[in-house]
Amino acid sequence: MDDTSVRSDLEAQAKHLEITFGKLKKELQFSGPYDDAEAILALHAGAGGTDAQDWTQMLLRMYVRWAEKQGYKVDTLEQSAGEEAGLKSTTIEISDPFAYGKLKGEHGVHRLVRLSPFNADNLRQTSFAKVEVLPKIDSPTNLTLTTKILKLTSTAAVVMGANREYHRFSRARNTYPTGLTVAIQNERSQLQNKETALTILRSRLAQMQLEQHQEKLAELKGPNQSAEWGNQIRSYVLHPYKQVKDLRTRHESSDPDAVLDGDL
């Protein structure tokens, strides 16, 4: 028998088993409810005016870049532009198993400190944005959602975009008896927007259901905090020094440019 060929075959098998073991070990880290679900991210500008809206757009790019590096698909579900720059809010869907488990720690208020590009005196500005991370729930087995009790409204509009081109938008809004409201506006049909709004509503309700059975809301979502001073989970400082610091884990990075480019 050729010992060399046997050894080569065994080494290849061992390498394959090592890779498989590594993947399974990593998946064991995501054993929480819905950790294996795809993720819906909703970003909202907080305190800081135009800077906060620009910060919201920067965070959107950060998460999109992260997803692209992972090979994940990203779809924009809703977006509301700021008056001067940036975004007032946006909602995206990241399609990959375990996306929610990997991103749920991003939920919370994110704080940026930098020299403002929107200030004539180029003064230091602090701005805030809130990131909401939800598991995507298409057809849950443990969540009953009776569509008969939903309040559904639909509207349509035609607006002029860049290059004087007209775009037709449809808007769907689902409201649950608790007052929870989801609104989706996109260049899609009203039926598509209704289905998307219903999916996000299911996801929010599933998250609320989990929170009712937890002693600490912070285990999944954290308290419902406004995006302003004192509530941040992470700070990104670009001036007078460079640092990203997570206030929960105490993890720090001296390369905020890499973090904002998706190196989470």
- Phi and psi of 26, rounded to 5°? -70, -40
What's the pLDDT score for residue 218? Answer: 46
What's the pLDDT score for residue 41? Answer: 94
Q: Which residues of the chain have pLDDT under 70?
A: 1-5, 23, 25-28, 139-193, 207-230
| Residue from 199, 192, 195 nearest 170 by CA | 192
Q: In what order do the strands lie in the sheet with 151-160?
A: 151-160, 166-175, 181-186
* Length of the chain counted residue by residue: 264
Q: Distance between CA atoms of 32 and 107, rounded to whole angstroms? A: 15
Q: Give every CB contact of residue 68 below 8 A, 6+ residues apart in sequence.
A: 74, 262
| Residue from 220, 95, 221, 206 nearest 140 by CA | 206
What's the pLDDT score for residue 49? Answer: 92
Q: Which domain holds residue 172?
A: 39-260
What's the pLDDT score for residue 106? Answer: 94
Query: How many CB atoms sit inside 10 A of residue 194's CB?
Result: 20
In this structure, what token pair is assigned to residue 13?
A: 């098998």
CATH number, domain containing residue 157? 3.30.70.1660
Number of domains in the chain: 1
What's the pLDDT score for residue 78? Answer: 87
| Residue from 76, 63, 143, 70 nearest 105 by CA | 63
Whether residue 68 is contained in a domain is answered as yes
What's the pLDDT score for residue 44? Answer: 95
Whether residue 83 is contained in a domain is answered as yes
Whether residue 246 is contained in a domain is answered as yes
| Residue from 213, 57, 69 nearest 129 by CA | 57
Whether residue 19 is contained in a domain is answered as no
What's the pLDDT score for residue 228? Answer: 62
pTM of the model: 0.69
Q: Are 91 and 200 within 8 A, CB to CB?
A: yes
What's the pLDDT score for residue 180? Answer: 53
Whether residue 7 is contained in a domain is answered as no
What's the pLDDT score for residue 170? Answer: 47
Whether residue 72 is contained in a domain is answered as yes
Whether residue 139 is contained in a domain is answered as yes
Q: How far is CA 164 from the centre of its chain?
A: 32
Whether residue 157 is contained in a domain is answered as yes
Q: DSSP of the chain, one letter per residue?
A: --HHHHHHHHHHHHHHHHHHHHHHHHHTT--STTTTS-EEEEEEE-SSHHHHHHHHHHHHHHHHHHHHHHT-EEEEEEEEE-SSSSEEEEEEEEESTTHHHHHGGG-EEEEEEEE-TT-TT--EEEEEEEEEEEE--SS-SS----GGG-EEEEEEEEEE-GGG-EEEEEEEEEE-TTS-EEEEEESS-HHHHHHHHHHHHHHHHHHHHHHTT-S-GGGTT-----SSTT-EEEEEE-SSS-EEEETTT--EES-HHHHHTT--
What's the pLDDT score for residue 260? Answer: 96
What's the pLDDT score for residue 128? Answer: 95
